């Protein structure tokens, strides 16, 4: 059913299932929290991040080194009591999930202290809480989902898979670009070095050939009388 307003616009009433889907999508967007960040980690440096969490909350930390050195970094996570609940050294990428047991500020740090000259670019994704169901009371329903609801759930899952794939391919593209630029720099330096060596060898050969064809005048000695 539709009604025309005074300004001439048409407003179409949405079906109940569509309104439910829109409301669920909005609640899902507000319910799950997360942070994605790409940071530069200088040599012999460490950077930490802090997040206050309630008890009984699940959080997930995904990270990957995009460029720098051997693409590795140290990472550890501490609870509010200072207890280390996760620690890895020289990892290129990893994922860590944990259910909080105490309320307070949780700390996770990335360290490049073992490297003395290489900068690192690190990407991490910090997600807090489980994703709520797309439909209200979806887990407690007795009746089966309708065809529209099943299609909405399938589309939602496919969109999440597409988002994860896009993030993965963006990281792979950034990592491959960094490696290509590093390789291009090494090839350029090698080419310049070869040019200088060839130039010096050419000059040496010319000087050597010139010495072969240089006329040597005999030294004139005094005649005795």
Tens digits of residue pLDDT in 81-130: 999 999 999 998 899 999 999 999 999 999 999 888 888 889 999 989 87
Query: Which residues on adjacent β-strands are paired with residue 100?
Result: none
Q: What tokens were used for 101?
A: 């047991």
Contacts of residue 132, Cβ cutoff 8 Å, sequence gap at least 6? 27, 28, 31, 32
Q: How far is CA 19 from the centre of its chain?
A: 36
Contact assessment for residue 76 and residue 113, using Cβ atoms and an 8 Å cutoff: no
Closest by alpha carbon to 126, among 27, 32, 223, 45? Answer: 32
Ranges of the chain whose pLDDT falls below 70: 1-33, 131-144, 215-225
Q: How far is CA 119 from the centre of its chain?
A: 14
Q: What pLDDT was estimated at residue 220?
A: 57
Q: What pLDDT was estimated at residue 7?
A: 35
CA distances from 203 to 193, 196, 207, 213 (A): 16, 11, 6, 16
* Strands annotated E in 132-204: none
DSSP assignment of 132-149:
PPSSTT-TT--SPPPHHH
Q: What pLDDT was estimated at residue 75?
A: 95
């Amino acid at each position: 059913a539709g009604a025309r307003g005074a300004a001439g616009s048409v407003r179409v009433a949405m079906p109940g299932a569509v309104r439910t889907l829109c409301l669920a999508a909005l609640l899902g967007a507000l319910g799950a929290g997360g942070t994605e960040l790409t940071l530069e980690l200088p040599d012999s440096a460490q950077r930490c991040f802090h997040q206050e969490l309630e008890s009984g909350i699940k959080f997930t930390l995904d990270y990957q080194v995009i460029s720098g050195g051997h693409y590795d970094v140290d990472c550890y996570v501490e609870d509010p009591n200072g207890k280390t609940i996760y620690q890895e050294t020289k990892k290129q990428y990893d994922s860590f999930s944990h259910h909080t047991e105490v309320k307070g500020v949780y700390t996770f740090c990335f360290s490049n202290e073992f490297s003395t000259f290489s900068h690192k670019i690190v990407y991490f994704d910090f997600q807090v809480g489980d994703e709520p169901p797309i439909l209200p009371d979806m887990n407690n329903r007795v009746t089966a989902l309708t065809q529209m609801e099943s299609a909405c759930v399938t589309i939602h899952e496919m969109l999440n898979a597409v988002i994860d794939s896009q993030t993965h391919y963006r990281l792979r593209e950034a990592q491959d670009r960094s490696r290509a630029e590093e390789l291009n720099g090494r090839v350029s330096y090698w080419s310049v070095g070869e040019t200088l060596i060839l130039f010096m060898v050419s000059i040496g050969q010319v000087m050597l050939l010139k010495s072969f064809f240089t006329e040597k005048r005999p030294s004139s000695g005094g005649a005795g009388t």
